[in-house]
């Protein structure tokens, strides 16, 4: 503790650091800042600086913090962006003004042509209406015939609907009974397997009981137990046979029901067939009427297209004439506005350029290296700070 207080408060030590010949030689040797920092660390602490220590001390001795440099660079970039934006806005305003002037002149030239087009379009519209009228009549008559044919189809469809529903119901019933038949067959197969196994076990038990009964060396208890086992297995086999008989009966019933469902489906299908054939004939008539109407309507539509085109051209020509007159005045107004905007943006661009010059000067000032006196004082402060660290006191 006494040593630490002495180093901190000793004017003698401070003077030695301030007037250190070794530090003066090192500063005058042309050694770069990073090498100087490493020399001081090795001299005071016998180790190189850590990465974070090195970065912080480089900022200190050069007088350039990363934040200050980034701020100055950001200011310059922002000023450049403003200058570029103002210049782009100016060029855009100039181009818009030139375009508006040219458009106004073009529309004035188009006025006479637009009047001639209006007259031609009116004549074309009258001719198109004259041609379209008979085609409209043909389409109306064909539409009426199609409607009559369509009315004939509704009663036929009404008669077919319940027959179709009957086929649907019969199909669903047959599917359900077919499923029940498949399940009954599966149950019969399973019952047969159970019976076969029970019968085999009963026969084996009976044979074993007989063998023990005839053996002179077997006791009465063994013979009695074998006989009881044979009797039990025979009862089980008889029960399995009865279950098999019931399963077979259920399968026969399911088969009969499935066969009946097939017959009903066939009958319903047979009843529906004439109605379907009648509906098909009516549909053919409707289709033929629809085809005639489509052809007639196509001709009408083509004629209406010609009429609509002629009318559209007439409307378009009138609108173009009106638009040309309005556009000339509007484009002149836009040209004047663009000129005013261009002049305003020119002034703003000059102001932005002045700000850019100031930002560039500020960035250069931040990038400028410290003076020799500032650098010398910074390394004296660094050496003094290293001599006052706990690491230095522990090592010396």
138 in any annotated domain: yes
Residue 396: per-residue pLDDT: 64
Scan for tokens 């002049």, then name that residue: 343
Q: What radius of gyration do the chain's Cα atoms show?
A: 56
Per-residue pLDDT tens for 367-388? 666 677 888 888 888 878 888 8
Distance of CA 225 to the CA centre of its chain: 79
Which whole number is the average pLDDT over 250-276?
A: 85
88 in any annotated domain: no
Rounded to whole angstroms, the Cα distance separating 298 from 391 reads 102
The secondary element (H helix, E strand) that includes residue 31 is: none
Residue 48: per-residue pLDDT: 92
35 in any annotated domain: no
Per-residue pLDDT tens for 279-298? 788 778 778 878 887 887 88
142 in any annotated domain: yes
Where does the pLDDT of residue 250 fall: very low under 50, low under 70, confident under 90, or very high at 90 and above?
Answer: very high
Residue 261: CATH number of its domain: 1.10.287
pLDDT at 6 over 60: no
Scan for tokens 């008559």, then name that residue: 141
Residue 370: per-residue pLDDT: 67
Nearest alpha carbon to residue 291 among 152, 157, 143, 148: 143
130 in any annotated domain: yes
Per-residue pLDDT tens for 319-369? 877 877 777 778 778 778 877 887 887 787 788 787 867 777 765 666 666
372 in any annotated domain: no
User: Percent of the chain having pLDDT more than 90?
Assistant: 6
* Other Cβ atoms within 10 Å of 185 Cβ, number: 15
What total number of domains does the chain contain?
A: 1
282 in any annotated domain: yes
- Which domain covers residue 197, as residue numbers? 110-309
Contact call for residues 324 and 108 (beta carbons, < 8 A):
yes
If you ran DSSP here, which 8-state letter would residue 158 be given? H
Where does the pLDDT of residue 1 fall: very low under 50, low under 70, confident under 90, or very high at 90 and above?
Answer: very low
């Amino acid at each position: 503790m006494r040593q630490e207080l002495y180093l901190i408060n000793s004017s003698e030590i401070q003077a030695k650091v301030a007037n250190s010949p070794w530090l003066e030689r090192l500063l005058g040797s042309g050694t770069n800042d990073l090498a100087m920092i490493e020399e001081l660390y090795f001299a005071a602490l016998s180790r190189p600086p850590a990465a974070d220590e090195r970065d912080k001390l480089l900022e200190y001795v050069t007088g350039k913090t990363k934040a200050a440099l980034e701020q100055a660079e950001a200011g310059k970039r922002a000023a450049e962006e403003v200058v570029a934006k103002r210049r782009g806005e100016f060029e855009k305003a100039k181009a818009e003004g030139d375009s508006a002037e040219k458009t106004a002149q073009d529309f004035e030239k188009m006025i006479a042509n637009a009047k001639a087009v209006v007259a031609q379009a009116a004549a074309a519209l009258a001719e198109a209406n004259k041609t379209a009228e008979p085609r409209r009549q043909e389409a109306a008559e064909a539409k009426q015939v199609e409607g009559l044919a369509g009315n004939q189809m509704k009663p036929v469809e009404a008669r077919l609907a319940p027959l179709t529903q009957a086929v649907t119901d019969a199909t669903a019933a047959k599917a359900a009974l077919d499923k029940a038949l498949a399940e009954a067959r599966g149950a019969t197969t399973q019952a047969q397997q159970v019976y076969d196994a029970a019968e085999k076990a009963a026969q084996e038990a009976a044979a074993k009981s007989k063998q023990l009964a005839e053996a002179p060396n077997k006791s009465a208890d063994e013979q009695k137990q074998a006989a009881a086992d044979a009797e039990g297995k025979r009862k089980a086999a008889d029960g399995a046979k009865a279950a098999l008989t019931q399963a077979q009966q259920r399968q026969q019933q399911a088969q009969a029901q499935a066969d009946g469902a097939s017959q009903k489906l066939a009958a319903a299908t047979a009843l529906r067939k004439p109605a379907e054939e009648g509906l098909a004939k009516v549909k053919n008539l409707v289709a033929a009427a629809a085809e005639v109407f489509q052809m007639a309507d196509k001709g009408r539509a083509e004629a209406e297209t010609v009429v609509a085109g002629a009318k559209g051209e007439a409307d378009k020509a009138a609108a173009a004439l009106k638009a040309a007159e309005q556009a000339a005045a509007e484009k002149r107004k836009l040209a004047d506005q663009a000129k005013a905007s261009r002049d305003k943006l020119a002034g703003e661009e000059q102001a932005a350029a002045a700000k850019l010059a100031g930002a560039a000067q500020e960035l250069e000032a931040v990038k400028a290296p410290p003076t020799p006196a500032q650098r010398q004082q910074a390394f004296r402060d660094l050496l003094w700070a290293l001599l006052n660290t706990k690491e230095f006191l522990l090592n010396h």
